[in-house]
Amino acid sequence: AGYIYATLKCLRHFRPPRLRISGEFGAIEEDVLLVATGNTSSYGGGMRIVPDANPTDSKLDICIVRAVPGWTVLSMLSRVFAGRHVAHPAVRMERSSWVTIESPDSAQPLLLHGDGEDLTTTPFTIEACARAINVILPTLAT
């Protein structure tokens, strides 16, 4: 509920930044609503933001949402819990062992959040590090 409330509160004044996002998939430069990475399928109380993520493949799954009107955000938000947002035309899913995000048109660096906490500012690079920590995973159905 906290993520939904924060989204609704921010939508009214939000101006999508222009970002350059690069990884093994190449480079993308466009106005974006959201860039989210993960190596597990969900966060934030079950939001399946990167539903095909695999914690054992040494890759980050990256969800890039182009700038869309506020009413579209609201309709997409309900789909995130089932991972159905990935079919929306404004959503691009990528996979890479690293991703760099820059804000080329911004006079000020943009803030990066991780699990609801302020982490760093642009430019930044996130890299998947295989076996960096031990994690107990549930048995996955095949």
Per-residue pLDDT of 51-94, as tens digits, reads: 999 988 999 999 999 998 877 887 888 788 888 899 999 999 99
Which stretches of 14-142 are assigned E, i.e. beta strand?
18-23, 26-38, 60-66, 91-96, 98-102, 111-114, 117-121, 124-127
pLDDT at 98 over 70: yes
Average pLDDT, the chain: 87
Q: Taking residues 85-114, what's their average pLDDT?
A: 92
137: number of Cβ within 10 Å: 8
Give residue 31's identity as a one-letter amino acid code: D
What separation in angstroms does the CA of 11 have from each of 4, 36, 73?
Answer: 11, 17, 9
Neighbour order of strands in the sheet with 18-23: 91-96, 60-66, 26-38, 18-23, 98-102, 124-127
Task: Supply the pLDDT for residue 18.
Answer: 93
